[in-house]
Chains A and B, each alone.
Chain A
């Protein structure tokens, strides 16, 4: 991104009508590893790619449960994500205490987005450097929302944020028509497949260490899949991947024969 003399302060507009600090904060989200979400009429799924800073280190968790009916995935500054996660947890818990019911997801996302926006209009502090994908299930059905450092939020049928998210978006764009009525397992498989698309160019194998899945839905509280539950989905996507690779290789071999 270009530097300009209007980007030193979040309270400074550029002559083109842009807040550069907020845009730079959105860049931070693009540096984070990918998180994607998708929903059917009854369930919503979050899939995240966990990075580890070194071979000795644990993989950094991307997906967090907020309440029994909603969860988030973060991309960007994980510490900012943790702060928003804490805020959302206390808001939903408070709502549950006062109203004895789960907080409507749209209302919670609105509160978080307002909090992010507050940081873009203050002389102290900086915008949050994290984008969230929020999934939840409430009286209005399954939801998937995206929030960004600017304080915008949108509802999606399927979306992904973070590094190399375009590959996942392409997969989801092709398949999202079929999501409405499929079951929970199929939905999770699509999510893991989409994640595989993002790592295909790096030839990274998905494992239960670097993949994380959370699902929520009708009659199904937030469930962070453990290794045992996650393994079958990973096995399937890796098996499909190997099969596709083999098919490619066979084609290549065939071509070489002709040349000779």
Chain B
């Protein structure tokens, strides 16, 4: 049973970079309890991991991956885990735990850069969850985002140039999508972290707030009763 949870993580992949966004809320049921939970972290030298769901499970998994990377560092033989390998590893442990009816109650988005044999760099974005379901795609959203954000990401991906999208366009697309999630998903707060991984490596920004407008007619359908006092 999940206790402290995070909501959606959304991510998008182009030819040059992978960008991920999530808010920093840890919900205690419907109480917005912890306001600075970082749900997008960098793993190793070229991978980003974002998760929604039970926060303690995510922290455990992130710690475990850090330990694996440390082990690799200690071996000192130029071997380190790449994003697809981390994705595959996560899938295996998720499926293993679900088969023991003791899941890591999370949905993960894994993104990163891979270097080919020829030195060329490719981007990678994958999803895996508490059941061990796994797939890769150009855009990925967990939790509530899978319902709300994916259509927006799809539309944005097609109109903004797809794999050739610029960083600014992707940033705006993710920000707009997070804004919609903030409007509609009650277990969110207006404190978003963005993470990017490109040829230079992973980078997670400090949380920012998005501009919101709650006076929009769509979300304020009830007009103030103007004649109430008169009556």
Q: B84 near A: Cβ within 8 Å?
A: yes
Contact of A101 with B82 at beta-carbon distance under 8 Å, contacts A107-B75, A107-B77 already known: yes
Of the listed stretches B20-28, B85-93, B209-217, name the one at the interface; the rest are far from the partner chain.
B85-93
Q: Which residues of B contact A (CB under 8 A)?
A: 75, 77-79, 81-82, 84-85, 87-89, 92, 115, 117
Task: Contact check, B84 vs A100: say whether CB atoms are below 8 A apart.
Answer: yes
Q: A2 near B: Cβ within 8 Å?
A: no
Using an 8 Å CB-CB cutoff, how does the interface string of A102-116 with B read, 1 for contact, 0 for none?
001011001000000
Task: Contact check, B88 vs A101: say whether CB atoms are below 8 A apart.
Answer: yes
Bound form: Cα–Cα A101–B84 in Å = 8
Please, which residues of chain B bring their CB within 8 A of the CB of A140? 78-79
Please, which residues of chain B bring their CB within 8 A of the CB of A106? 77-79
Please, which residues of chain B bring their CB within 8 A of the CB of A218? 117
- Taking the closest CB of chain B, its distance from the CB of A58, in whole angstroms, is 38
Bound form: Cα–Cα A97–B89 in Å = 9
Task: Contact check, A99 vs B117: say whether CB atoms are below 8 A apart.
Answer: no
Q: A251 near B: Cβ within 8 Å?
A: no
Q: A139 near B: Cβ within 8 Å?
A: yes
Between-chain CB contacts (< 8 Å), 26 pairs: A97-B92, A98-B88, A98-B92, A99-B85, A99-B88, A99-B89, A100-B84, A100-B85, A100-B88, A101-B82, A101-B85, A101-B88, A104-B77, A104-B79, A106-B77, A106-B78, A107-B75, A107-B77, A107-B79, A110-B75, A110-B77, A139-B117, A140-B78, A140-B79, A218-B117, A219-B117
Bound form: Cα–Cα A99–B80 in Å = 12
Bound form: Cα–Cα A107–B71 in Å = 12
Please, which residues of chain B bring their CB within 8 A of the CB of A110? 75, 77
Bound form: Cα–Cα A219–B85 in Å = 20
Bound form: Cα–Cα A99–B47 in Å = 15
- Taking the closest CB of chain B, its distance from the CB of A2, in whole angstroms, is 38
Please, which residues of chain A bring their CB within 8 A of the CB of B77? 104, 106-107, 110
Task: Kindly identify, within residues 142 to 175 of chain A, every residue whose CB is under 8 Å from any CB belonging to chain B.
Answer: none
Nearest CB in chain B to that of A137: its residue: B117
Nearest CB in chain A to that of B96: its residue: A98
Bound form: Cα–Cα A219–B118 in Å = 11
Please, which residues of chain B bring their CB within 8 A of the CB of A101? 82, 84-85, 88
Bound form: Cα–Cα A97–B79 in Å = 18
Bound form: Cα–Cα A101–B80 in Å = 12
Nearest CB in chain B to that of A101: its residue: B85
Bound form: Cα–Cα A101–B86 in Å = 10
Residue picked from A99, A106, A219, most chain B C-beta under 10 Å: A99
Please, which residues of chain B bring their CB within 8 A of the CB of A219? 117
Please list the 7 inter-chain residue pairs (A to B) with the smallest Cβ-Cβ separation, ordered nearest first: A100-B88, A99-B85, A104-B79, A106-B77, A98-B92, A101-B85, A99-B88
Bound form: Cα–Cα A110–B77 in Å = 10
- Taking the closest CB of chain A, its distance from the CB of B93, in whole angstroms, is 9
Please, which residues of chain B bring their CB within 8 A of the CB of A100? 84-85, 87-88
Please, which residues of chain A bring their CB within 8 A of the CB of B87? 100
- Taking the closest CB of chain B, its distance from the CB of A85, in whole angstroms, is 22
Nearest CB in chain A to that of B134: its residue: A100
Bound form: Cα–Cα A139–B117 in Å = 6
Please, which residues of chain A bring their CB within 8 A of the CB of B115? 139
Please, which residues of chain A bring their CB within 8 A of the CB of B75? 107, 110
Please, which residues of chain A bring their CB within 8 A of the CB of B78? 106, 140
Please, which residues of chain A bring their CB within 8 A of the CB of B85? 99-101
Task: Contact check, B89 vs A98: say whether CB atoms are below 8 A apart.
Answer: yes
Bound form: Cα–Cα A121–B152 in Å = 62
Please, which residues of chain A bring their CB within 8 A of the CB of B81? 99
Task: Kindly identify, within residues 171 to 223 of chain A, every residue whose CB is under 8 Å from any CB belonging to chain B.
Answer: 218-219
Nearest CB in chain B to that of A100: its residue: B88
Bound form: Cα–Cα A10–B193 in Å = 59
Please, which residues of chain B bring their CB within 8 A of the CB of A98? 88-89, 92
Please, which residues of chain A bring their CB within 8 A of the CB of B79? 104, 106-107, 140
Bound form: Cα–Cα A98–B132 in Å = 13
Nearest CB in chain A to that of B88: its residue: A100
- Taking the closest CB of chain A, its distance from the CB of B24, in whole angstroms, is 31
Nearest CB in chain A to that of B85: its residue: A99
Nearest CB in chain A to that of B81: its residue: A99
- Taking the closest CB of chain A, its distance from the CB of B79, in whole angstroms, is 4
Please, which residues of chain B bring their CB within 8 A of the CB of A139? 115, 117
In addition to A97-B92, A104-B79, A106-B77, 16 A-B residue pairs with Cβ atoms within 8 Å of each other are A98-B88, A98-B89, A98-B92, A99-B81, A99-B88, A99-B89, A100-B84, A100-B88, A101-B82, A101-B85, A107-B79, A110-B77, A139-B117, A140-B78, A140-B79, A219-B117
